[in-house]
Chains A and B, each alone.
Chain A
Amino acid sequence: MNRRRLVAAVVLVTGLVSMIVVGRAPSANAVPVFTTLGKPTMPFVPTGNFITSSWFCPGVPVGGEGVGGSVIVANPADAPLSGQITVFTDAPDGAPVTQSFEVDPRDTRTIDLLELQQAGTFVSALVEMQGGGGFVEQRAVFPAGNAVAPCANSTSSEWYFADGFTLDGSTEQLVITNPFPDEAILNFEFATNQGSRQPSRLQGFPVKGNSVAVITQASLPRDEAVLAVKIVASRGRVVVGRAQQYLGGGRLGYTLSLGAPSLSDQYFFADGEVGDGIIERYSIYNGSDREVAVQAVFLGVPLADDFANDTEIVVAPGQVGTLVTADVPGLPAGRHGVVFSTLDERAIVVERAITRPAGSSVVTTVVLGAPAALAGPRWSMAVGSELAVENILVVLNVDGVDATVTVKALGPGGEVAVPGMESIALPAGGVTAIGISDRAALGRPLVVESTSRIYVERLLPRDASLRGRSGSFALAG
């Protein structure tokens, strides 16, 4: 082999071989990422720069005696906040009504939805604000008690409710808002003690664009102590709220709450309580297609030899598992927090129904658990208490360190700590209930800040004339 050939062959064959070696294992062909939105979750106060920010309020009842509701927009910023509200109705051919509004700095604006839209049985609202910074909640007015619920940050194609209850004449209504111009198509699935079912009339259920649809009790299973609902949109996205009026079976009262827009693997509750006359039940809906084992760990309870604190509930796919705290051996009396966890990601939804004595009667309130991602040092509420009562706020410290909690009220001077509530001690993993008595803080938006990550539940009086409380989570952030 002459030298010319040798040099050229070595160079070129080496090039070929090295090419094969280098290129033999192609890297994975990654799918480009336009954005990472994550699954919709329970409402929170978003941070960041916004061109417009939107809140979807699940709806309030209209068209009856003593019913109605409003939307409360809080503006914690130092500049006026402007926006527009669009009110949808379930009335046939009911067109949405749009109105502009403005909120003064460090103030709130309450918009009575009945003034904008009277037709139908339920109205819901889309609140759009220029820029961000504000936050929105709704208050439903009902003879059996008012109910405050946060408005959703986004729509979703899936909605879940774990705790339904239709025993002894109790009723449930699903309020579905489609704020988009197109029709949404929904499929419903119910889980009861008898198993799951998919009523044919609720498959391919259309919801017109820019409207509200209400699934009344007539379309729902009757006399069910356990009734979970799964709603999946085959087309479009919606916002779903649930109105429940408890008339028997151990429950009384009225709730109107937002559903869970996605499944999760962990839920926190701050306001658990074991005591006389208190019935605390957790409904765990397994929305996945596999059996899951859910661990329930109680927080804020003293260590005791006779309390293992390792409750496990196994839930079949599409079924509901329940945990009644009264049945948990050794669980000490008093307040506690609780966290439900499963190793299966995005599998469950957990709701808590707690029935407490209220005078000579009882009042039931139902709250959806807060997912782990929302744990944070700050929680906000557009709706505070109008009355000076105890235990307005229940705060759960989920960190392993002792913390201090400050409760602030939003007023003309901005966020100001409520006197006496600047540094409330909160032990590691502990729970505390806080009452508001300062007049300056009553009726004002509240902010709870902590030196650790916390969850905050709110127990507002149902009405000035009614005993008992209506529970709901505050807005993280």
Chain B
Amino acid sequence: MVVHEPGPWFEEVLDGLADQDYGSLKLLFLLAGEPGDLPERIRARVPDAFVRAVDGNPGYGATANEVLSLVEGESGFFCFLHDDVALEPAAVRLLVEELYRSNAGIVGPKLSDWDDPGVLQHVGLAVDRFGAIDSMVESGEVDQEQHDAVRDVFALPSACLLVRADLFRLLEGFDPAIEFYGDDVDLCWRAHLGGARVVVVPAARARHREKLPERRPDLRHDRLRARHRVRSVATLTGARRLLLVSLQLVVLTLAELVAGVFTGTLRQAWASLVALLGAIPRTPTILARRREIAPLRQVPNSEVAGLQLRGSARLSSYLRARDSRPLDPDASTERRWRQTAGSVPSIAWLCVLIAVVIGSRQLITGGVPEVGEFLRFPSSPSDMLADYRSGWWGHGLGATVAAPTGVALAAVGSVTSLFHMGLWHTVAILGLLVVGYAGMWRLASLFPTPRARVTALVVYAALPLPSELLSVGRWGALACYAAMPWVVHLLRRAAGIETIGSTSSDPADRDTVERYAVVAPRKRLRLLAQLALLTAVVAAFAPSFLLLLGATGVVLAVTTLLARGSWRAGVTMAVSAFVVGIVALVANLPWSESLFGRAGWDLVAGVPPVTSRSLGVVRLARFGVGNGEFGILAIALMVPVVSALLVARSWRLTWAIRAAGLVVAFGWLAILDDGRIGRIGGIRMPEPGVLLAPVAVGVALSAACIAAAFQDDVLSGSFGWRQPLGVLSACAIVVGILPGVIAVGNGRWNMPRLTLTTVLGQLPSDPVEGDYRVLWIGDPQVLPVAAWTYHPGIGYALTDDGPLTMYETWAGRPTAVEREVAQALDAIGTQSTLRAGRLLAPFGVRYIVVPLADGAIGTTTDPVPPPVGLIDALDDQLDLATPLTRPLNYVVYENMAWTPVRSQLTPAGAAASQQAGDEALASADLSGSTPFGVGARDRGPATGPVQPGVVHVAVPVDQRWTLEVDGRQAESHPAFGSTIGFDVPTAGAATLRYDTSLARPLFVILQLFVWVALVLAASRFDPSSIRRRRKRPVDEHIEPVLQLTEPILVPGDGGVPWQSEDGGAS
């Protein structure tokens, strides 16, 4: 037994040893640390024990390894014990007997709680391939002999294990590098490598305190646990598996890190990451250890791996722990639900996930096509972050404005795919489906019956909305679909609206409107922070979500009052939504500032339609915003919305009212926006896909209400109109989900194979003749980029050459110079000039593209008609050439008067650049310019040789752009009245760069601070724990207090020839 400063329990431990009925038992106490009166205390209970002090406190394993030198011979057993283990009298005997019987190498007892022996602690340990332990018993699990079979396990706790002496010597004891935590797993793993069995013997029992953190607060337990786990994996995993396991470990650790933010396990996750990174410099040590272990490998690694847990033990144990965690008022219902739900939820989830995989199979294998807002991510996350930090946002003509927060979020999010941007693109789109399902599952936790929860999940998953949104590439709306259930769920919890048990089991609840709990301020803060975090993330990509959030809060508040619920809860939900929206706006500053002011609403609602969207109530009711099929059947899902109001009782009626409220309120908004009424009233809403997300939540909740009511209110009542209505509703639900089921068969959610962006590859990228821009104009429905409003129903946008990326999904507000492009379009439209190509030349516009078919909204067989007169007006322009073969997807014009984005102007061009105004531009011929800095990034730097003259940069006038020629700065001046010209006096090597303002990094740091604060507030992180740790004297117990001394002789000794330090017998 290794003893270190034991507490008052130690006497019970000694009594347990003294009472052992195994006749050949010899006791050796290894005292680590200050012995104090320990020898006397030991002597008082077990007078024949050997007691020996160990120098310092090298850790359990290293101390225990002393037996290798203190004990001679191999024909016995070592039973290693912690000093907080109280054995039952027969424990050692039973262990020895079973070891003989099973021919095992290591055996261990069943460990129970010290204070409550009826509660299990460990019955062996399961270990996964990452070295993580799953204790195999639930926290607080009562011993009902359910684990009393002798069985092989992968490891046994070092608190008590019996090892064959020869095996222990062969293994050279515990790994001396492991001080605490993991020594047992490491030993047992090596035993397995040598072919020895590890067996748990439940008949042998012991009580174990297991409170090392209390006894050793100086240790960094999480770090030690993680470090030793990584060491064991690195040293013991077979060479063939090591690479794969290492990669899996990296992925798992990163996922754990992300999950840790939201589950309160961030500290453990961080420890894992530190351990992983810390293993890198320890590579030589690890390799040396692998060489030491190599002779032990008698069993194929596959066999050893077969003994380990599949998957992640940490994930399994977390899920198990979470399920049984008594967190809030929901918990009792939740636990009861889990106990009674059986396998139905698992099967439902499995079906839904399989449906997602089957429905997305072509997208998973081939990637998501770039249609609508599904533009590819830039190839480098670091470049994305650099773009974000730069202060120069290159969208359109570029400007010194904040880059969208979504750029940084997308870059950071790529960590989940190990920076594989293609995979991240697919995950970021298809993953939204699962996020939405999970949100609905959480929201449906308010229902105590599995039938209702499964109904909510299945209906929400089978609604045509997500597949319709996918088919036309509406990422923002899809994000709203994914986030909306979470919004309702978090608002509910923040308002303290409780889950109530089934009325069948609780008749008192029959007339209850609903129940409310007092939400602790800290918990409410956490919930709202989670909602704010969610909102901030979604709004970074879909600003319209802010509107959705506010409106949802109001609708839930109003319907709560309508249902005669608590006004306090209603107000809480409305105010919470408002406050959360503001916080999300703040988190997205300074980019979110662009949502206000002139054209700001366009970023929320998009380019306004000509008169109305004119989808009609039928299409809206069937969520027909895309290219789905058989969607008409989904209208049947409106039946439960009404019938739930009539059938449901008690709190289910309250939720039926809320659900119908969501459907009616957001349905009305969609209808108003869809028809001319909206135009008359000046109401312009976000796209219908966004508005239909809360409707989808309402429909799914209504279906769940029906399912819950069917059991509690319909079947339990006498026969009447409720029964047939309930049956009708159930049939309607079945019919309504058919379109969603059918959509799975397509394999790509009806997304196009050939999109506009794929054929745009015909336009040259970074051509030698210079970088250029593309002017997009046309119906915003088929524009592959976010557009500024030119006229109702007509959008325009500017993009750089090369492939379109997600950067183009944020239109931003057009700058004054970008509005000059619209003025050039005006000139084309009014035919006030036929030389509009020259007007566009200073902006680097080489191509004008009018999209007709993006593959989703418009196809080559059924293209979207271009705006009336646009093609005619462009055809009239004398500077615009059209290729001999026109693609079917779009009409493209090449501006023959273009000049590169960065170019050295001809003398005539230089003279013209001094002029401003349309007439001067229309008569200026800029042809013959020499390109400069071809292929440079928007934010620079661009380098190249220049000649005396004028270097023109087609970006708005900005003093932060500088041009250095051979180290000397060239003077800049406005060119053509709006862009930048640099006067180059002499030839030389030039560098064009953008100087980021000092304010920008400060803004970024401030923003980072806000996000970290939000993350911490949303997590279970408790700041007081830092304060507590800071106050703790760290060096209280860690000073080594003893040197190795002479054995403390015990009277009556003489049974075993224990070795003294001088090698003689004592």
Q: Which residue numbers of A lie inside 8 Å of B, CB to CB?
A: 1, 4-5, 7-9, 11-13, 15-16, 19-20, 22-37, 48-54, 84, 126, 128, 130-131, 154-155, 157, 179-183, 209, 235-237
Q: Which residues of A contact B677 (CB under 8 A)?
A: 22
Q: Which residues of B contact A35 (CB under 8 A)?
A: 828-831, 868-870, 872-873
B618 shortest CB reach to chain A, Å: 8
A52 B919 Cβ-Cβ under 8 A: yes
In the assembled complex, 14 residue pairs joining A and B whose CB atoms fall closer than 8 Å, in A order, are: A9-B645, A12-B657, A16-B660, A16-B667, A20-B621, A33-B867, A34-B791, A35-B831, A35-B873, A48-B832, A49-B832, A50-B833, A182-B882, A235-B884
Interface centre among A11, A126, A131 (most CB of B within 10 A): A11
B653 A31 Cβ-Cβ under 8 A: no
For A30, give its contact among B611, B646, B866, B878 (CB under 8 Å): B611
Q: Which residues of B contact A37 (CB under 8 A)?
A: 831, 869, 872-873, 876
For B562, give its contact among A8, A130, A179, A236 (CB under 8 Å): A8
B922 A155 Cβ-Cβ under 8 A: no
Interface digits, B849-875 against A, CB 8 Å rule (1 contact, 0 not)? Answer: 000000000000000011111101101
The distance in angstroms between the C-alpha atoms of A345 and B896, with both chains bound, is: 37
The distance in angstroms between the C-alpha atoms of A33 and B868, with both chains bound, is: 4
B875 A237 Cβ-Cβ under 8 A: yes
Q: Knowing A4-B564, A27-B612, A182-B884 touch, does A19 contact B867 (C-beta < 8 A)?
A: no
For B563, give its contact among A4, A20, A128 (CB under 8 Å): A4
**Count of B residues near A, CB < 8 Å?**
73
Q: Knowing A51-B918, A54-B834 touch, does A23 contact B876 (C-beta < 8 A)?
A: no
A130 B646 Cβ-Cβ under 8 A: no
Q: Knowing A8-B563, A54-B878 touch, does A19 contact B664 (C-beta < 8 A)?
A: yes
B873 A34 Cβ-Cβ under 8 A: yes
Q: Which residues of A contact B559 (CB under 8 A)?
A: 8
Q: Which residues of A contact B876 (CB under 8 A)?
A: 37, 154-155, 237
The distance in angstroms between the C-alpha atoms of A78 and B922, with both chains bound, is: 22
Is there a chain A Cβ closer than 8 Å to B689's Cβ?
no
Q: Knowing A4-B653, A130-B923 touch, does A11 contact B868 (C-beta < 8 A)?
A: no
The distance in angstroms between the C-alpha atoms of A374 and B615, with both chains bound, is: 42
Q: Knowing A51-B918, A54-B878 touch, does A27 contact B611 (C-beta < 8 A)?
A: yes
A33 B922 Cβ-Cβ under 8 A: no
A19 B614 Cβ-Cβ under 8 A: no
Could you tell me which residues of chain B, from 390 to 421, have a CB within 8 Å of some CB in chain A?
none
Is there a chain A Cβ closer than 8 Å to B1020's Cβ?
no
B668 A19 Cβ-Cβ under 8 A: yes
Q: Knowing A183-B884, A235-B882 touch, does A5 contact B645 (C-beta < 8 A)?
A: yes
Q: Which residues of A contact B645 (CB under 8 A)?
A: 5, 8-9, 12-13
Is there a chain A Cβ closer than 8 Å to B6's Cβ?
no
For A32, give its contact among B614, B839, B867 (CB under 8 Å): B867
Q: Which residues of A contact B661 (CB under 8 A)?
A: 12
B620 A30 Cβ-Cβ under 8 A: no
For B922, give its contact among A13, A30, A52, A179 (CB under 8 Å): A52
Apart from A27-B611, A35-B829, what are 20 other A-B pairs with CB-CB below 8 Å? A5-B645, A12-B660, A12-B661, A16-B638, A16-B660, A23-B620, A23-B675, A25-B616, A26-B616, A30-B610, A32-B610, A32-B793, A32-B868, A34-B829, A34-B866, A34-B868, A34-B869, A154-B876, A181-B878, A182-B882
A16 B870 Cβ-Cβ under 8 A: no
The distance in angstroms between the C-alpha atoms of A30 and B646, with both chains bound, is: 41
A31 B884 Cβ-Cβ under 8 A: no
Could you tell me which residues of chain B, from 654 to 700, have a CB within 8 Å of some CB in chain A?
657, 660-661, 663-665, 667-668, 671, 674-677
B667 A19 Cβ-Cβ under 8 A: yes
Interface centre among A49, A51, A126 (most CB of B within 10 A): A51
B868 A31 Cβ-Cβ under 8 A: yes
B675 A27 Cβ-Cβ under 8 A: yes
Q: Which residues of B contact A50 (CB under 8 A)?
A: 832-833
Q: Which residues of B contact A13 (CB under 8 A)?
A: 642, 645
Q: Which residues of A contact B868 (CB under 8 A)?
A: 31-36
Which B residue sits closest to A8, measured CB to CB?
B657
Q: Which residues of B contact A23 (CB under 8 A)?
A: 616-617, 620, 671, 674-675
A5 shortest CB reach to chain B, Å: 6
B614 A26 Cβ-Cβ under 8 A: yes
**Do most interface residues of chain A lie in helix, strand or loop, or is the interface mixed?**
loop
Which B residue sits closest to A9, measured CB to CB?
B645
Q: Knowing A19-B671, A26-B614 touch, does A128 contact B867 (C-beta < 8 A)?
A: no
Q: Which residues of A contact B884 (CB under 8 A)?
A: 182-183, 235
Interface digits, B279-292 against A, CB 8 Å rule (1 contact, 0 not)? Answer: 00000000000000
Q: Knowing A37-B872, A51-B922 touch, does A15 contact B668 (C-beta < 8 A)?
A: yes
A52 B793 Cβ-Cβ under 8 A: no
Q: Which residues of B contact A154 (CB under 8 A)?
A: 831, 876
The distance in angstroms between the C-alpha atoms of A114 and B867, with both chains bound, is: 42
Q: Which residues of B contact A22 (CB under 8 A)?
A: 617, 671, 675, 677
A400 shortest CB reach to chain B, Å: 34
A34 B794 Cβ-Cβ under 8 A: yes
Which B residue sits closest to A13, measured CB to CB?
B642
A162 shortest CB reach to chain B, Å: 24
A234 shortest CB reach to chain B, Å: 11
The distance in angstroms between the C-alpha atoms of A13 and B618, with both chains bound, is: 17
The distance in angstroms between the C-alpha atoms of A53 and B677, with both chains bound, is: 42
The distance in angstroms between the C-alpha atoms of A37 and B677, with both chains bound, is: 30
Is there a chain A Cβ closer than 8 Å to B779's Cβ?
yes
Q: Which residues of B contact A30 (CB under 8 A)?
A: 610-611, 793
The distance in angstroms between the C-alpha atoms of A236 and B923, with both chains bound, is: 23
Q: Which residues of A contact B665 (CB under 8 A)?
A: 15
Q: Knowing A32-B792, A48-B832 touch, does A15 contact B664 (C-beta < 8 A)?
A: yes
B827 A51 Cβ-Cβ under 8 A: yes
Is there a chain A Cβ closer than 8 Å to B331's Cβ?
no
Is there a chain A Cβ closer than 8 Å to B641's Cβ?
yes
Is there a chain A Cβ closer than 8 Å to B229's Cβ?
no
A52 B923 Cβ-Cβ under 8 A: yes
Is there a chain A Cβ closer than 8 Å to B835's Cβ?
yes
The distance in angstroms between the C-alpha atoms of A66 and B76, with both chains bound, is: 131
Q: Knowing A19-B671, A23-B674, A52-B922 touch, does A180 contact B878 (C-beta < 8 A)?
A: yes
Q: Knowing A32-B793, A34-B870, A130-B919 touch, does A27 contact B676 (C-beta < 8 A)?
A: yes
A10 shortest CB reach to chain B, Å: 10
Interface digits, B580-617 against A, CB 8 Å rule (1 contact, 0 not)? Answer: 00000000000000000000000000000011111111
The distance in angstroms between the C-alpha atoms of A5 and B646, with both chains bound, is: 7
Is there a chain A Cβ closer than 8 Å to B18's Cβ?
no
Q: Which residues of A contact B646 (CB under 8 A)?
A: 1, 5, 9
Is there a chain A Cβ closer than 8 Å to B881's Cβ?
yes
B833 A52 Cβ-Cβ under 8 A: yes
B904 shortest CB reach to chain A, Å: 24
| 9 cross-chain pairs, A with B, having the tightest CB-CB distances, nearest first | A32-B793, A23-B617, A26-B616, A35-B829, A15-B664, A35-B869, A51-B833, A34-B870, A34-B867
The distance in angstroms between the C-alpha atoms of A209 and B833, with both chains bound, is: 20
B564 A12 Cβ-Cβ under 8 A: no
Q: Which residues of A contact B620 (CB under 8 A)?
A: 23
The distance in angstroms between the C-alpha atoms of A16 and B875, with both chains bound, is: 49
Which A residue sits closest to B612, measured CB to CB?
A27
Interface centre among A19, A28, A36, A49 (most CB of B within 10 A): A19
Q: Which residues of A contact B667 (CB under 8 A)?
A: 15-16, 19
B562 A26 Cβ-Cβ under 8 A: no
The distance in angstroms between the C-alpha atoms of A20 and B616, with both chains bound, is: 9
A54 shortest CB reach to chain B, Å: 5
B892 shortest CB reach to chain A, Å: 12
The distance in angstroms between the C-alpha atoms of A36 and B868, with both chains bound, is: 7
Q: Which residues of B contact A31 (CB under 8 A)?
A: 610, 793, 865, 867-868
For A16, give its contact among B657, B664, B835 (CB under 8 Å): B664
The distance in angstroms between the C-alpha atoms of A34 and B791, with both chains bound, is: 8
The distance in angstroms between the C-alpha atoms of A425 and B791, with both chains bound, is: 48
Could you tell me which residues of chain B, from 869 to 901, have a CB within 8 Å of some CB in chain A?
869-870, 872-873, 875-876, 878-884, 896
A180 B617 Cβ-Cβ under 8 A: no
